[in-house]
Chains A and B, each alone.
Chain A
Amino acid sequence: MINLLDAHNILEQDGIFFSFSGRVTQTVLVGLGSAIESKLQDLHVPRRTITDIFSIFTEQMQNMINYAKDHDNLGLFIMGYSKKRERYFVGSGNYIDEEDIPNITQKLGKLQVMSKSELKDFYLQTRRDDRDVENEGAGLGLIEIARRASEPIEYEIAEKGEHMFFQIIAYI
């Protein structure tokens, strides 16, 4: 029989206390978001940190929802606390098309080296210039994550069989 406790223990080793695997929808986002908020409130996490975590969570989930629209995708999500770094983290992953990789790595690479004030300027500039109403502000979402994270966003792209798997983790 599948041992749920073993699965839980594996997650716990990395400090993960929320996880999701499946198709991400707005309903999943809203439900998980509420659960995360109440858990953090119970832990007496400062309001500002809760807002940062919630915001990063929402942007990551909505990026996955939007991407899954034309990809019928698997979405993975984790949230937890790293004792080693003494920070909360929010991570997500999904399969992506190979052709989308240059665009995303270029965007993330640019964000990784920016200071907080550069990120602010870049956010404001992108919000001003982005006239493409159809793209749901995809670029703005990543900048939002970078602004609210305490360390540069970490990402990884791995080849899994014929597909490419993309994941990002933000530490707060």
Chain B
Amino acid sequence: MEKIHISETKYTPEIILDPFDRNIKIRGSSYPENTFEFYHETMDWIEEFLKEESEKPIIVELEIAYFNSSSSKLLFDFFTLFEDAQDEGRDIQIYWKYNIENDYGKESGEEFQEEFDTLNFNLVVVN
């Protein structure tokens, strides 16, 4: 699998998908015009990557300052993939990062944490 790097724009986040470091990183704001189209490649990559049998941990870092409702749905779908992969034996560590002043970053992280309570979901405050 190849490494993918999508640059940040005003309304779409930076995405780094690294199969060698086993790292999935999404950082920035997310309110694309067509959310499912924007994340299509990322979704396919993650699905493919999670199929590879390995016990080495996969690190997922999410630092999304603002996301709209359809991005929220998409994040939900990502977490569903991670949950399924974990059931298949993958070791997945999720780090949900939010700025200390961003109440919503914290609350939305907590809502995902509650929804996916079997995942290794860590809330991380960033100054």
Contact = CB atoms under 8 A, between A and B. Distances in A.
A and B found bound together: yes
Contact of A30 (B10, B66, B103, B115): B10
A30 B11 contact: yes
A76 interface: no
Interface residues of B, number: 21
A133 interface: yes
A140 B70 contact: yes
Contact of A141 (B36, B66, B70): B70
B118 interface: no
Interface of A: 26, 29-30, 34, 47-48, 51, 54-55, 58-59, 62, 65, 120, 124, 127-128, 130, 133-134, 136-137, 140-141, 143-144
Nearest to A51: B104
Interface string B14-41: 0000000000000000011111100000
A62 B73 contact: no
B120 interface: no
B73 A65 contact: no
Interface of B: 10-11, 31-36, 66, 68-70, 72-73, 76, 101-104, 111, 115
Contact of B104 (A29, A48, A59, A134): A48
Contacts of B70: 62, 136-137, 140-141
Interface centre among A54, A120, A124, A136 (most CB of B within 10 A): A136
B115 A124 contact: yes
Contacts of B111: 120, 124
B34 A54 contact: no
Contacts of B102: 47, 51
Contact of A62 (B10, B33, B66, B104): B33
Contacts of A48: 103-104
Contacts of A134: 36
